[in-house]
Amino acid sequence: MKIAIVLGTRPEIIKLAPIIKKLGPKRSTVIFTGQHYDFQMGRQFIQELELPKPNYSLKISKSTPQIQISEIINKLSKILSKEKPDSVMVQGDTNTVLAAGICSIKSNIPITHVESGLRSNDWRMPEEHNRIAIDHLSEILFAPTLNAKKNLLSESVHGKIHVTGNTAIDAISIYSKISEKKSKLSIDFEEFILFTLHRAENVDDKKILSSIINGIINSEEKIIFPIHPRTKKRLIEFNLFKKLQNNKNFGIYDSLGYFDMLELMKKCSLIVTDSGGIQEESTAPIIRKKVLVVRKTTDRPEAVDSKMAEVIGTNQKIITQKIKKSINNPSVLPRNAPYGKGLATSKIIKILTKNY
């Protein structure tokens, strides 16, 4: 069995790390597209998680999604022709995933999709286009939950569906044991809210971004804000960055490593985010933190159903109110994680071995 694992962003690296480690170099070829060209968002995580150097690293331009997708398809096709893997594995819903899927099916190589079946039913999200397309192209679909499986069945996908749990929980099970020693982050606040923001529909719209930022500021809570390069660029462009820099309640950090983020999630009192991955990670038993989701929809309804997360939208006043309520009247959170017990990797590899 030989699996070509194609990845290009921070979340893909984290969620595929347990699979890469367990498959080993004899059964896998790792191809890094460089979609996250920023070192702190891409290669840093490969090094930090002690993953082997990718067998191939594509150099794609810092351009539009259309051009990046076309470049990945062009360069990946030559690699697949040379390597001839039994299957191409992708994870999630990025442009890397879409490009690898198109390239693979046109190369007559079956696609394996990790974290399939997520749906937000929000067509504003580019991720929604990608995940729907890849699910219908895939031969084997690893759904993290029963709800994800139901989504796939309702769309009559042709591939085989397997419910495995989410590999994000596997990664936390592995790396949380060493994150305290590995983290180099120094925090000035004893109690704080962890805040992250990066989605295009939030940060590329000045009105929405201003509303979210003002909602956070008006809570008057201590905030740790690891800032995504895209978000920082927009904050500067919209004249919001200095406002945060001058606010004594904000601790702003450039993009942090995985171990630093794990420690922040462990130590914070509340998480405010638009990240799908953090909605999953927050449910892990070692973290168990309430998440306020600054989006109009979520593709992680399991976190909401379990009362671990709450979708609060992007209205300034509501964000402030929800933060104050969550801090002053914290809810009792369930102990069972809706995304599995950290056994997804073993299940996935067992199924791969049986099929290939």
Q: Which residues are the active-site residues?
A: 198
Distance CA 262, CA 180 (A): 8
Structure tokens at 109: 């190589």
Instruction: Tell me the torsion sign for CA atoms 275, 281, 283, 289.
Output: negative
With the CA atoms of 26, 166, 45 and 356 taken in that order, what torsion angle do they form, in degrees rounded to the nearest 10?
20
Residue closest to 196 by CA, chosen among 220, 167, 216, 219: 216
DSSP label at residue 228? P
Burial class (CB in 10 A: 0-12, 13-18, 19+), 55: middle
Going across the sheet that includes 309-311, the strands are: 250-254, 223-227, 193-195, 270-273, 291-293, 309-311
